[in-house]
Amino acid sequence: MFDVRTNFFENKLLFLAKGKMDGNECRTMCDALLKNARKLQAGFILISDIHELEPLPEEGRLELQKTMQALINGGMGAEIRVISDKTIITANQFQRTSRAVGYTATEVRTIQEAERLVDQLVG
């Protein structure tokens, strides 16, 4: 399950994913991320809440890697990732994947921490 929300006022994208995702759902998720990111201005911030997401299958990870590269190319300024100790394998998978395309996301433990960090980055 995933949800993508766009906040035009704060120029940010909020992405929530949890549970187990197959390759098709990963593709749909990545398409939704890109579609919504295109609506924002360069320098937008992505908050990815993956604290309840199981590791992606390799097919999904490869799709995510392409999407991360497209987000960078599309002007993403920063990514803040909400993680948990229960899903550390997923967090490591996402961090390795983002590093493969040239960036490291800031990891936090709550959505509130992520929002505070956004305020610091834009304020």
Over residues 54-82, the mean pLDDT reads 97
**How much is the pLDDT for 69?**
98
**How much is the pLDDT for 122?**
79
Q: Which amino acid is at 18?
A: K
Residues forming a β-bridge with 80: 47, 106
Over residues 60-82, the mean pLDDT reads 97
pLDDT tens, 86-122?
A: 999 999 999 999 999 999 999 999 999 999 999 888 7
pLDDT tens, 30-55?
A: 999 999 999 999 999 999 999 999 99
Is 2-122 assigned to CATH 3.90.1150.10? Answer: no
Question: Mind spelling out the 3-state secondary structure of the chain?
Answer: CEEEEEECCCCEEEEEEEECCCHHHHHHHHHHHHHHHCCCCCCCEEEEEEEEECCCCHHHHHHHHHHHHHHHHCCCCEEEEECCHHHHHHHHHHHHHHHHCCCCCEEECCHHHHHHHHHHHHC
Domain boundaries, the chain: 2-122
**How much is the pLDDT for 121?**
84
